[in-house]
């Protein structure tokens, strides 16, 4: 008996969403905004 899990299906290249949580779809615009906000954090925000 083998306990292998089936391979995870990778998203298509044209897919414009990311699945951060299973079943949750995130738009690329929201992901880009989150990256920008993280890169522009103030020193106080970085401590948190």
| pLDDT tens by residue, the chain, 48 residues | 556 666 656 555 555 666 667 888 888 999 899 999 999 999 998 898
Determine, yes or no, domain membership for 29: yes
Determine, yes or no, domain membership for 9: no
Classify burial at 37, counting beta carbons within 10 Å of its beta carbon; exposed 0-12, middle 13-18, buried 19 or more: exposed
How much is the pLDDT for 43?
A: 92
Determine, yes or no, domain membership for 35: yes
How much is the pLDDT for 18?
A: 66
Domain count within the chain: 1
Question: What's the domain range around 22?
Answer: 17-41
Determine, yes or no, domain membership for 3: no
Determine, yes or no, domain membership for 7: no
How much is the pLDDT for 10?
A: 57
Classify burial at 26, counting beta carbons within 10 Å of its beta carbon; exposed 0-12, middle 13-18, buried 19 or more: middle
Determine, yes or no, domain membership for 27: yes
Determine, yes or no, domain membership for 31: yes
pTM > 0.85: yes or no:
no
């Amino acid at each position: 008996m083998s306990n292998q899990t089936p391979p995870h299906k990778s998203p298509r290249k044209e897919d414009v969403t990311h699945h951060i949580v299973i079943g949750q779809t995130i738009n690329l615009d929201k992901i880009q905004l989150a990256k920008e906000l993280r890169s522009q954090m103030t020193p106080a925000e970085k401590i948190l």
